[in-house]
Amino acid sequence: MKIAFFSTKTYDKESFLTYGRKSEHEFSFFDAQLDYKTVTLAEGHEVICSFVNDRIDEYILKKLSQIGIKLIALRCAGYNQVDLQSAKKYGVRVVRVPAYSPEAVAEHAFAILLTLMRKTHKAYNRVRENNFSLEGLTGSNIHGKTIGVIGTGAIGKAFCRISKGFGCSILAYDLHQSQEMKELGVQYLELNEVLKKSQILSLHCPLTPETRHLINGHSLGIMPNGVILINTSRGALVDTKAVIKALKSKKIGFLGIDVYEQEEHIFFKNLSEEILEDEQISRLMTFPNVLITGHQAFLTHEALEQIATTTLENISSYQRGDVLSNEIKAD
């Protein structure tokens, strides 16, 4: 099948060309995001492959349907960017990659946590300038801390296992409690109880209307002073304005994020020669206790292999007329 890839980077091209060598699919790679201006690039293709910041609303779906696109293959797990009701209306099917190396994201979340608590990013910059002073680099142990995990799907479970290895007490909240995690020693509580008792909080839940701005002024008020907040899930789980206020009041001791609610205009781009117009992320970057990475938690060789192979198998299954095990439907 002829596949149009949107929002592609070098690593996307390399992984799909490597793992798609034996397939009969034809690839067209476009650097541009999928939007009103670029949707016509899909003409002459049968499938589009998109990423997390390609907003696929009713207008886009109508245009894709008119072009003859019948399948959207998301090369990601999240699908909040897709209007599934409109996809159903225009007869466009949607598949995703529900799990790809959950350890990749969990390890990155813990790397952010370790960096913040031991200030290794600051030490790295000092030493490169021949400054070997330890003043201001005093950190804290992770061992013995109480970590709260919101969402114990594949990534949340991987994060819990890492936390257990560091000797932490683990509290969790999820609508569907995991027996495996209970046997590991994870204690499930109501959301407010997890928020109250966690010294470190890591978000691993999907973005839904119910979880949008899960971290807001009210929930931050419940948390202990100096709480450490880590988000490697979806940016809009966090109300950025409320977080900035909590950083200023020192309610949040450290903040580590790999996602941002307005990231579609910033992340995956080189803006080093431009003035950053987003005032909220600019404000976040002024805090010495904030660490931001640009949605790279998924970016490992192992994850890229799984993304490419699962995406291509989704498309091949559609071509063969098989049941699409990774299909997402409006209902």
pLDDT tens by residue, 102-128? 999 999 999 999 999 999 999 999 999
CB 260 within 8 A of CB 281: yes
Q: How many helical (H) and strand (E) elements, i.e. helices and strands, does the chain have?
A: 12, 13
**How far is Cα of residue 29 from the mean position of the Cα atoms in its chain?**
22
Q: In terms of domains, do 201 and 247 share one?
A: yes
Q: In terms of domains, do 36 and 94 share one?
A: yes
Q: In terms of domains, do 202 and 250 share one?
A: yes
Residue 78's pLDDT band, with cuts at 50, 70 and 90, is: confident
What spatial distance separates the first Cα and last Cα of the chain, rounded to whole Å?
28
Question: Cα separations (Å) of 114 from 143, 230, 239, 312?
Answer: 11, 11, 24, 35
Q: Which two tokens stand for residue 132?
A: 């070997």
> Which pLDDT does position 99 carry in this prediction?
81
CB 8 within 8 A of CB 31: yes
Q: Which two tokens stand for residue 130?
A: 């021949």
Q: In terms of domains, do 247 and 214 share one?
A: yes
- For the chain, the domain total comes to 2
Give 265-315 pLDDT, tens digit per residue.
899 989 999 999 999 999 999 999 999 999 999 999 999 999 999 999 999
Give 182-215 pLDDT, tens digit per residue.
999 999 999 999 999 999 999 999 999 999 999 9
Which of 45, 75, 204, 295 is labelled catalytic?
Answer: 295
Q: In terms of domains, do 193 and 283 share one?
A: yes
Q: In terms of domains, do 155 and 242 share one?
A: yes
Q: In terms of domains, do 89 and 108 share one?
A: no
Residue 12's pLDDT band, with cuts at 50, 70 and 90, is: very high
Q: In terms of domains, do 66 and 159 share one?
A: no
Query: Among 314, 323, 284, which residue's Cα sits nearest to residue 97?
Result: 314
Q: How many CA atoms lie within 13 A of 77 on its CB side?
A: 21
* Residue 254 confidence (pLDDT) above 90: yes
> Which pLDDT does position 267 carry in this prediction?
93
Which of 46, 261, 263, 264 is labelled catalytic?
Answer: 263
Question: Cα separations (Å) of 307 from 24, 51, 77, 138?
Answer: 18, 11, 9, 39
263 flagged as catalytic: yes
119: CATH: 3.40.50.720
Residue 130's pLDDT band, with cuts at 50, 70 and 90, is: very high
14 flagged as catalytic: no
Q: In terms of domains, do 85 and 156 share one?
A: no
Q: In terms of domains, do 117 and 175 share one?
A: yes
* Residue 77 confidence (pLDDT) above 90: no
* Residue 331 confidence (pLDDT) above 80: no
Q: In terms of domains, do 165 and 259 share one?
A: yes
**64 phi and psi angles, rounded to 5 deg:** -60, -40
Residue 264's pLDDT band, with cuts at 50, 70 and 90, is: confident
Which of 96, 108, 234, 313 is labelled catalytic?
Answer: 234
320 flagged as catalytic: no
Q: Which domain holds residue 14?
A: 2-100+300-328
Query: Among 176, 131, 126, which residue's Cα sits nearest to residue 151?
Result: 176
Q: What is the per-residue DSSP string for 210-268?
A: TTTT-BSHHHHHHSPTTEEEEE-S-GGGB-HHHHHHHHHTTSEEEEEES--TTGGGTTT
Q: In terms of domains, do 282 and 150 share one?
A: yes
